[in-house]
Structures are given as C-alpha cells and as structure tokens.
Amino acid sequence: MQYTFSWVLLGGLIWATACTTDTQNVLTETEDQQQKPDIMLTEDNPFYAPSTLPFEAPDFDAISDDDFKPAMIAGMAHELEEIEAIATNPEPPTFENTLAALEKTGKLLTRTQLVFFNRTSAHTNETIQSVQSEMAPKFAEHSDNIRLNPELFERVRALFYNKQALNLDEASMKLLTDTYRSFVRAGALLNEGEQRRIREINSEISSLQTEFQESVLAMNRERALIIESEEELDGLSRDRIAAAREAAEERGYNGKYLLSITNTTRVPLLTSLKNREVRKKLWEASANRGIGENGGIDTRFIVLKLAELRAERSRLLGYPDYATFALEPQTAQNPDNALEMLTDLIPAVRANTAREAEMIRDRMRQDEIQDEVMPWDWEYYAERVRESEYDIDDEEIRPYFELNRVLEDGVFYAMKRLYGITFEERHDLPVYHPDVRVFNVYDEDGEQLGLFYGDYFARDSKRGGAWMSSFVIQSHLLEQKPVIVNVLNISKPAEGEPALISFDNVTTLFHEMGHGVHGLFSDVKWPSQAGTSVPRDFVEFPSTFEEDWAIHPEVLANYAIHHETGERIPDDLLDRIIAARDFNQGFETQEYLAATMIDMEWHTLTPNEVPDDVISFEQAALAKYGLDNKAVPPRYKSTYFSHIFSGGYAANYYAYIWSEVLAADAFAYMKERGGLTRENGNHYRSTILSRGGSREAMDLYLDFKGEEPEVEALLQRRGLDVRRAE
C-alpha cells in the first residue's frame, strides 16, 4: 500500500504581523538598515533596538511586562510606514523593491512579538494576558492592513504574472509564488464589502482564540485535584508524592496533595494510582474541563463561534468549508485525501484496541473488578499488562531516566553522532524564568550555529504540551543566526530530589529537539523560508523522525544510567523496554484518531451547519467513524482542544500522523543504510533540515530518499497488524 504525497504551494505568509508563536519571519536591522522607531517608543525600551547580546538573544533582565505593548504598537506603526513606501514606490515593481523589500519589514514588531508570544505560552501572568487580549484584534487588523493593501497587491500580482521573465532562482521563485497566493487567500481579490467582513471576522477570531488559550490555562489550574491523605496516593513513588505535597503547599493546601491536570484527556499519574476512585476523580477532572461544571470555566461558546466564523470566512474566500481552505497549501491538498489515509487506518486500529481491551479486562478480573473497562481503568491496567507481559515496571524504569542525563547523554549525544554538533551550557545570559537553561551550539568545525534554550518543567504560568519556538530566525539576507527554544511540561521534582522522568517524557525531549535542529540547521536566504516555515503536515516530520533515536540501543545505553548507582540499564531491561514499545498502540492511535476526526468534523461544516451543542456533536462525530469507544476517549475534547481552537492546527491535527508516515519511512530508509552514522545524518541535514521552506516539501523528500514514502513503515512503527483488522 502506498500513498501519493502531492504538494501544492504554501500560502498564508504573514511577514512580521502574525500573532501566533509559529511565525517564522524574524527581521532585525543591521547597522545600515536601522530606521528610527515610531516616536511612541523611547530609547529606554529594550526592544527599541536589536539586542546587543550574542546573536541578538533577548535581554530578559532588561525586559519588563510593561515594555511589550508600546513596542508592539510602535512596531505596527513603523511597519505600516515601510509597507506604504513599498506600495507607493513610483518605480515599476521589481523583485528587489517589492518582494525583497517586504522581507526586510517589521523588524521592531517581530523581535518584540517573538519574545511576547513565548511569554504568553511559557510564562504568562495577568499583565501579559491583559496585553494579549487587547492586542490580539490589533494584530489581526494589522495583518489585514498589509495583505489587503490594494497598491501592494498590484505590485505583487504584476511580478507574479511576469515571473518567467524575472530569471529567479528556485527559492526566490517560490517566495514570489507563495507571497502572491497568501494575498489571494487573505481576500485581496474580494470586493470592498467582502474585505470589510473579512476584517471583522479576523478580528473576532483573533480575540476568541486568545480567550480560549487563556481559559485552558486557567481551567488546568481550576481542575487540579486536591487529595486529603497520602494513603489515597498508593502506587505513586516517593518523589511524586513529595512533589504533590509541595504543589499543594504552594497553593495554600498545607498537609494535602495536589494532582495537576495535563494537556491531554488522560493524565500520566493514572498509570500508577491504585485507588480506583481517585483515578476516576482525576480523569473526570481532566475530561470535563470547559463545560461549566459546578460553575467552572465554560469554553463551549468559543468553540461554536470559532467554527461558525471560520466557515463563514472560508465561504467568502470561495471555499466550501474551512478544512478545504486550510488544507489547500498542505501536502494533503484537501480533506478527502487526509480522510482517506485516516479512515484506512481505523480498522487495524480498532482491531488492535479490541485485543488490548480484552487483555485489560482479564487483568481487572484478577483484582476482582467485574465492571466494564472505563477510561480511568485503561492506563492503570495497561501498565499492569505491560508489567506482566514484558516484565516492566514504570518505577523500575524511571530511576534510569534522570532529566539532565537524558538531555546531555541522550539527546545531545544523538545529535552529535548524527550531525557532529555539540552543546555547551552557559550561565551568563538572562532568561525569562530561573528554570530555563541556555546552550551554545557548535558545528563540527567549531563555528557556532546559534543558541538553544531549554525550558522543561511545568508551572502554573505555562500552557500544557510541548513546543519549539524561536527568538531569532536564521537568514543570510539579514546575516542572522538562530536562537531556538524548546518548551516541555515535565513535573518538577520536590526540592533536592532528582528529576526522574517517564519514557514518554524522554520521547518528547527527542521530538522537540527534532524541531530544534530544524531551526538551528536552517541555511536559507529569505527569512520567511527559514527553519520550520513549512506546511503543517510536513513540520512534524523532522520532530517525529528524531523520536526513534531515543530507543536506538547505542543511544539508549548511553543515557539510561541509574541515578543512584551509576549502573547502565541492564540489557534485559533495555530489550524489554524496546519490545514493549508496540503495546497499547491501539489505544494510543485510536485516541489520536478520535481527536483528529473531531477536528475534521468541526471544520467541514458550513456556517448554517454549526450545531448548538458541543457534546452531542462530538459524540456524533465519533460514532460516524466507529470511534465511539467509552474506554478510549479522544486525546482532546473540543472544550480544551488548544491545537485547533488557539494553536494554529485547525483542520490540521491530522498532520501529526501524516508527517509520521514521512518520519517512519525516512527512519527505515536510514536504518537500511547503516543507521546512526554521520554520513546518514549529514545527508538528512543537507536535504531536509537545512532547506526550510525554500523548496517544495515533497521535492525535499525526494532529494533525501529518491522516491515517495510508503505507509508500511508507519504501521510497523505503531505495531498495527493490518492482517488482523476487522
């Protein structure tokens, strides 16, 4: 079985005006390019001029919460002046005076936004949230002021229709094509009344997405479970109990214990808690977020309104629904192609899940529990089955996975073996939170590639999940090197205790470093094509690809060392960990597919089809695809599905498994050619990681492998036996 991956042109470029953390267009002045900022910004504002720290890293010691708003307001005013100068240039449009000029705009705004957006996600507070809420519609308006500027569009259109006579190199031709398409997709061809409505919709969507993000952060705190006694925590390790006690004390619950809610529906602690009633309370606290339970936060109105507004905007732009609009610039091209791959997986996934459920039921019977399998049972008893089938105990494994050793002797070690790069921690650069670490990153020849920041521990001021972002984006045009940050949500240990992490956390560290090297290895001219500026269903390919090095025997043996004894992980335990990898993949994949189908169903609606009830809509969506399994709920429910209602993955959550096809195929291809070697790493780096969005993404993959990817490697990676499918 083989899926054809066709590419279309990436649209939706937004220079320095986008208000999402994944914007990749970072522009900073060189000395001969500096322009005086708007008079509203005084020289004592740290964003007034580029940072003087290495690689223009943000000077967090100088930045206060009050600096962001004036810098962003001034930055927007300044950028509009630059845009006006380009749009009204009396000279005929050329690539240099229009496209290249656009790549140089918005420097003040961008350097401020990239720091601000990281703060809104990684370390927010009431001041930051207030600024975010106020500025969100202003950012949307500012973006529209650029993309709906008729004079500017005419210059871009003139170049686009004369592109063959321009003799551009491949990257420049792609920049021109993508830019033209981004204007069209923003509404540049609409009439005045339609553009006015587009502006209204964009402003409202921006505000609602910000409200959703803030609500999810608040509800995670609101829904944290308070436990009265240590006896109720039977099954948790000593360090986890101590961390729960400290977390409760920080909230003023002295003598009690606090269990935090994580990003997903399931909570990792469910694997260990023996008390079934406590597991049920913890799962329900997580799964019932955002429905206004007991007068709590309710995000259902936001979900319904966003679905309606996105559908209306898509209709105005000539698309039947938002999913069709959103997937046009992706590798999938349209919802039908994405759904074909997803639905083809469902039979094998359901069959695997059914076999896993039977094993879990049998294990529950051993504890004399005759009830049907509930979601708060699945994780706990899946772990018990794993223990019996593979002789693996999470508490036996965790002592071998100490965070710092995993990072330095695992992730960094693998990066050196593959790409020849080294990381050297430094302590002289300011950070936005004491837990953040900073590293110089050196290439094999000793040249410094850039800076890498690591922010690994969970806190109330940080949203859930894990991500990579940038403070500075690589660009030969502007002579910039990358400044990259990885953010995770690992539970912080009690004071003085080691940071022992789960194997899921280990995998996430490798995953996010995949995004990290995608940014660090960027080697392009145009900043809008740098690093992770690729389609959504390609961007997760490099990150997912790096995950499998976490279980490479050489890599795993190098970092899996007992934190107390210093002994390397025993070979038999290592073998058992690797063998157990396939177990529970039915559950893992089904909960993901369930969330993906909810996403697709919301975004294939017309404006008139948006329902008035979120819960019943979700249930109908799951039943439609045969994924309505009470014991396997979706990874995210709509009311806290940040990926699609605030995080930029609307109608694109499928991208993770679509990208995994590429990642699994690429890893299998590399394994056939020697695996963990510099030759393989250098080839992958030169054909994929360094090219950013300077070529069509499938062309990059063909450069790497020489042929299109096949889905078989994905099925093998996930342990899905299609021969035993329903």
Q: Annotated catalytic sites, by residue? A: 512
Helices and strands per DSSP (H, E), number in the chain = 27, 7
How far apart, in whole angstroms, are the C-alpha atoms of residue 675 and residue 3?
25
Residues 6 or more apart whose Cβ sits within 8 Å of residue 679: none
- Output Rg (C-alpha) for the chain, integer angstroms: 25
Structural element, H or E, at residue 313: helix 300-316
How far apart, in whole angstroms, are the C-alpha atoms of residue 545 and residue 660?
8
**CA atoms within a 13 Å half-sphere pointing along the CA-CB vector of 542:** 34
Sign of CA dihedral 249, 251, 254, 259: negative
Closest CA to 648 of 27, 221, 217, 24: 24
Tokens of 620: 């109908």
Place of tokens 């965070």: 403
DSSP string, 180-246: HHHHHHHTTTS-HHHHHHHHHHHHHHHHHHHHHHHHHHHHHHHTPEEES-GGGGTTS-HHHHHHHHH
Q: What angle do CA 533, 539, 543 make, to 5 degrees?
A: 125
- Are 491 and 505 in contact by the 8 Å Cβ rule? The answer is no
How far apart, in whole angstroms, are the C-alpha atoms of residue 643 and residue 213?
10
3-state SS, one letter per residue, for 557-595: HHHCECCCCCCECCHHHHHHHHHHHHCCHHHHHHHHHHH
Closest CA to 594 of 291, 352, 342: 342
Question: Facing residues of 413 across strands?
Answer: none
The pair phi, psi for residue 650, each rounded to 5°, is: -60, 125
Q: For residue 434, how many other CB atoms are within 10 A of its CB? A: 7
How far apart, in whole angstroms, are the C-alpha atoms of residue 122 and residue 115?
10
Question: Facing residues of 467 across strands?
Answer: 487
Sign of CA dihedral 222, 237, 580, 406: positive
**CA atoms within a 13 Å half-sphere pointing along the CA-CB vector of 91:** 8
- Are 240 and 398 in contact by the 8 Å Cβ rule? The answer is no
What is each CA distance from 97 to 11, 67, 87, 102, 529, in whole angstroms? 21, 32, 10, 8, 19
**CA atoms within a 13 Å half-sphere pointing along the CA-CB vector of 445:** 2
How far apart, in whole angstroms, are the C-alpha atoms of residue 262 and residue 225?
11
How far apart, in whole angstroms, are the C-alpha atoms of residue 650 and residue 642?
9
Residue type, 678: R
How far apart, in whole angstroms, are the C-alpha atoms of residue 387 and residue 584?
12
Question: Facing residues of 450 across strands?
Answer: 441
Residues 6 or more apart whose Cβ sits within 8 Å of residue 311: 321, 322, 603, 605, 606, 607, 609, 610
Sign of CA dihedral 236, 241, 247, 251: positive
